[in-house]
Amino acid sequence: LEEYIAVELDVSRLNRIHDHLWFAGSQRKPRPLHEQIMKQRTLLITEQADLHLVWWGKVLLIKPLPPFLLSYTFFQSHLCTENVPNGQLATLHASASGLLYSYANLILHESDFRIARELGLLPEMTWQEWARFARSVRLSLDKSNLENTVNQRYLYGELRRKRLNWICRFVHGHWIRGYHYVYTEYHEFFSSNFAWLVLVFAYLTVVFSAMQVALTTHAGTVTPLLQSISFRFSVASLVAVAAVVASLCVLFGVLVVNNLYWGL
Asked if residue 17 lies in contact with residue 168, where contact means CB atoms within 8 angstroms, the answer is yes
Give 104-149 pLDDT, tens digit per residue. Answer: 999 999 999 999 999 999 999 999 999 999 999 988 887 767 888 8
pLDDT of residue 254: 64
Q: At what angle do helices 2-9 and 87-106 cross, to 10 degrees?
A: 50
The length of the chain, given as a count of residues: 264
Report the distance separating Cα 204 and Cα 228, nearest Å. 17
Asked if residue 89 lies in contact with residue 101, where contact means CB atoms within 8 angstroms, the answer is no
Q: How far is CA 234 from CA 212, 218, 231, 238, in A?
A: 11, 19, 5, 6
DSSP the chain: -HHHHHHHH--HHHHHTGGGGGGT--SSPPPPHHHHHHTTPEEEE-S-GGGTTEEETTEEEEPPPPGGGG-HHHIIIII-TTTS--HHHHHHHHHHHHHHHHHHHH--SHHHHHHHHHHT-S-S--HHHHHHHHHHHHHHS-GGGGGGTS-GGGGS--EEHHHHHHHHHHHS--TTT-S----SSHHHHHHHHHTHHHHHHHHHHHHHHHHHHHHHHTTTT--HHHHHHHHHHHHHHHHHHHHHHHHHHHHHHHHHHHHHHHH-
Domain map (residue ranges) of the chain: 2-171, 186-263
Nearest in space to 134 (alpha carbons), one of 90, 62, 37, 69: 69
Asked if residue 176 lies in contact with residue 255, where contact means CB atoms within 8 angstroms, the answer is yes
pLDDT of residue 72: 85
pLDDT of residue 246: 75
Per-residue model confidence as pLDDT tens for the chain (264 residues): 778 888 999 999 999 999 999 999 999 999 999 999 999 999 999 999 999 999 998 999 999 999 999 998 888 888 875 655 556 777 888 999 999 999 999 999 999 999 999 999 999 999 999 999 999 998 888 776 788 889 999 999 999 998 999 898 888 766 667 787 765 555 555 566 556 567 777 767 777 677 676 667 665 566 677 667 777 767 777 777 777 777 767 666 665 666 555 554
pLDDT of residue 170: 84
> Using CA of residue 186, residue 191, residue 195, residue 201, what is the dihedral sign?
positive
